[in-house]
Every structure is written in C-alpha cells, then in structure tokens.
Amino acid sequence: MKLKLVAIGISVSIALFVGWLLLSSPPYHSQFDKALRTALNQPAGSSIPLSELAEFEWTRFCVVPPYGSQQSAEELIGAAWPGRWWSLVNDDQRYYVFVDNDEVVSVLKRQNNGVPYIRQAHECRTREEAVLRVVIEQRRDREVRFFDLEDQGRTD
C-alpha cells in the first residue's frame, strides 16, 4: 500500500512538472518550423518573404541573440517574454520571435550545426521588411546553408 502511494505521488509530480513546462513555454508554430527548413533548400540568392513561411498573424519579427537576458530580449522585441526564459548559450543559437502588436505570438529556438538559421542577431523587422535570402557557403568539407535578412531599402 505504501509503495502504491509513493508511485501515485511520483506520477502526479511528473504530470505537474510536464504541465508546468508546457504552460510556461512560449507559443510555437510547428508548420513555420517545417516551412523554414524547407525554404533553406532553395537556390542561393533566393528571396523569401517571411510572411509566406509564417502564415499566422504577426506584425514584427525579431532575432534574439545568444547570451542575453530576458530583460534584453524584452527590450529588443518590445513585449513581455512569454513563459519561462531559457538562456541561449551557443553562438549558433537564436530565438526567432514573432510579435503581433505588443504580444508575442510565436517563439522558435533554432540552431543549425554550428551556423544560425538566420545569421543576423539583435534585429527586428516589420512584416513587410522581413525577407530572407538563402546563402550557401562551402566550409571545409561541407556545404552550409543559412539565411540572411535582406535590407529591403532600410535606412537605419
């Protein structure tokens, strides 16, 4: 009987912990993640409006760099961070954050075998300005693919 109560207690604790993780995690759009990975297979120099990949409502896209704090991320994106903050601890990691007006609607944490999916960091773009350009570089014995954010006539 005592063993059964301990097992039930452990099961309930695990369920509560998993629930807490799920509820404290930022919103995530798996279709966007899949579309981003697929777009990376386009030829070098291809321009891809981010709005064609992220087919949900958003007004601003931000790339949050590694090693920052929650406060610096919130200052960059201009909104409160949703859920629990997890620091990025590698050069190739980025948070890709979509904001609709003043609310975060999606966060994707990505890295790409030593190369960020999107090279820039600590930048935000409006929906109209957020255009990706496919870059392919040869590094040692392998081809590396990633995106750059195009300038799209920006003056800042």
pLDDT tens, residue by residue, 49-98: 999 999 889 999 999 988 889 999 999 999 999 888 888 877 778 889 99
Does a structural domain hold residue 17?
no
pLDDT for 21 = 39
Does a structural domain hold residue 71?
yes
Query: Containing H/E element for 37?
Result: helix 30-39
Total domains in the fold of the chain:
1
Q: How many residues does the chain have?
A: 156
Q: Bigger pLDDT: 109 or 63? A: 63
pLDDT for 114 = 54
pLDDT for 16 = 42
**What pTM does this model have?**
0.75
Does a structural domain hold residue 16?
no
What is the per-residue pLDDT across 10-54, written as a single tens digit (0 to 9) for each? 654 454 444 433 333 445 567 887 888 889 899 999 999 999 999
Which of 21, 46, 55, 41 minimizes the C-alpha distance to 127?
55
Say how far apart CA 27 and CA 42 lie, in whole Å: 27
Does a structural domain hold residue 10?
no
Does a structural domain hold residue 123?
yes
Q: Three-state DSSP class for 108?
A: strand
Residue range of the domain that includes 33? 28-149
Does a structural domain hold residue 59?
yes
Say how far apart CA 72 and CA 56 lie, in whole Å: 25
What percent of the chain lies above the pLDDT cut of 90? 37
pLDDT for 133 = 94
Phi, psi of 110 (to 5 degrees): -140, 150
